[in-house]
Structure 1
Amino acid sequence: MKGITWYNDRMSHTQLKTKHFIWHHIQKPNEGEIEWVRQSHKIHELVAGELIHPSARAKAERFDHYIYMVLHFPIFNVYERKTYQREVDFIITKKDLITVTYEELPHFEDFFKKCLLDNSCEELFVSKTPAHLLFYIIKEMFNFSLRQLDHIQANINSIEEKIFSGLERAVVEDLSVARRDIIDFRRALKPQHITLESLQAHGVALFGRDVEPYLSGILGEYAKAWNLLENNKETLDALYDNNTTLLSIKQNEVMKMFTIMAFVTFPLSLFVSILGLDTARNPILGRTHDFWIIVGVIFALVSVMIIIFKRKNWI
């Protein structure tokens, strides 16, 4: 295995040479690098044009002697508490694997450096074709996605504890952040299923049946990440519904108390207002202990209402 970095006035990229093939890796490509790819590997102009800038969607397309594939991997930013998509473009020929990244993708770069510097890089040594190496690269990225999902699982566990500790209002924001993470992960992962199925068909056509187990294995690695993501989504949706129900119950209890208070105070206010009417004669006002009579009547009315409410199980 040998690693070489090429530099000239228009391009620079790193490549790994093995007995069977070469892995070229380009970071933040410029026009000179893309032109080198186009000329040295006879890449179609449309593909070369797409390599200049990131693509909006995942895809896998087969041309005469190569496969062009775009994948997006979710990367969680701890400081912003947000998940971003990072793109990797692949050009797979029978003798070369070309990877292109446009933004920082630390785990992918670390894997490349591991194979570049570590003579014990088993994934590279056991790869007989670029398709075999592609399996190990994507497997490594999906394993990284599984570890990225750990922070969502930790957030869900924390949210669950808070909900059942009576902190329903406090977790509303946490639920929103966790659901945004799920949405961002799904946006990155879901389109990959069709793309990887296309890769399997194209790969078998280009490399033969020997690579089919590896390409099927890529779908298996995808399924692990997707199933864990779906499990987290279902759990979070259940917690969200449960939290909404608990909040609704508490709000209904508050509204019920306000309704009862209004129901109690209205007849009392009416009674006091009637006593305050400016009439020639008043059966209570002017009597001895009239104040205490009024207080007693109000107390009796409130007591009767409370007894009725309790019998109706309203309070």
Structure 2
Amino acid sequence: MAVHYCGLCRRTAFTGRRHRYSAGHRRRLRDALVRLQEAAAAARAAAADVGSAVRPYDPAEHDGRVWCPCCGRGVRRDGRRGGLALPQAGLLRHLAGPEHRRETARFWRENRAEAALRERCLVPTEEYEQFARALERALAEHQQREEERIRQMAADIREAERRQRETVQAALQLQTEAERCAGPSVCSPPAGPERDTSHDAEQPGLSGTQTGPDLSWMEAGQALTFIGHQETEGKGNVHTGAKPPWLTEEEDGTKQEIGPSYEEFLRQKEKQKLKKLPAERVGANFDHTSQTSDSWLPSFGRVWNHGRRWQSRHQFRTESGEKKKR
């Protein structure tokens, strides 16, 4: 019995080379060729638009591989040039290489594939050379744009530094003039025509008959007086460093208790547990406030929730009588 190993199906066929004509093998062959043709068509479409193909390299995006059934191995889809990624360049170089062309001929011969589909899985050498030249031009243009962008960024940085130096210099100049004027002698006002006080007094806006607010105190050179921060002794708030109210002690020396006590917390916890029990359980509505004398003895009756137990007998007889009447 002949034994044949099929690399496409990845299993051993005991029917020999007749396995190539089986339905399963033909289906896997057709699916593999469809995937390879789609990858080759996408690579050729990317080669037509090389100008926008150059982009920064990203390992998560550009480290993918495409399975080549003719060569029996995975091929890197994108190429790389330094820190730049070249989409579909690796696959195009593989499809146009002599090794792939030789392995494709062997694959077609062994699997009896359709001859018309063979050229769809190959890239002509002339087409790849044209793509390589266009790719070199795109890389050169991209490098030129990057250099221009770097020069523009450097010019912007120099301009920002110049403006910063001018701002600091102007601030230092103003500080120097202020220190010069802060000496024992008072700085004289800048040269110019002296102010005519009589003319200003005659202006209608500053006359004594104006109806607006009295601004004479501003003309006299008066200003508001700061009398300091007013703080009351022993009082304050958290912003002035005082203790918060929950840390202050009362007059009798005891701290004020905030929130429920521990006993109240336990009682509330028990109530929460009782809420989870069924509401119609036995004894749920028992009256704990009822008074019972020491001489009381239990009588035979049913389970009760209110009153005495002997009253439950009469209640039971009453209900049983009503049921009989019904």
> Which one scores higher on RCO, CA 8 angstroms, separation ≥ 6?
1
Tell me which interval the TM-score lies in, with the shorter structure as reference length: 0.3 to 0.5
Which of the pair is proportionally richer in strand?
1
Q: Give the number of the structure whose alpha-carbon radius of gyration is greater.
A: 2
- Normalised by the length of structure 1, the TM-score is 0.34
TM-score w.r.t. the length of structure 2 is: 0.33
The structure whose residues are more often helix, as a share, is: 1
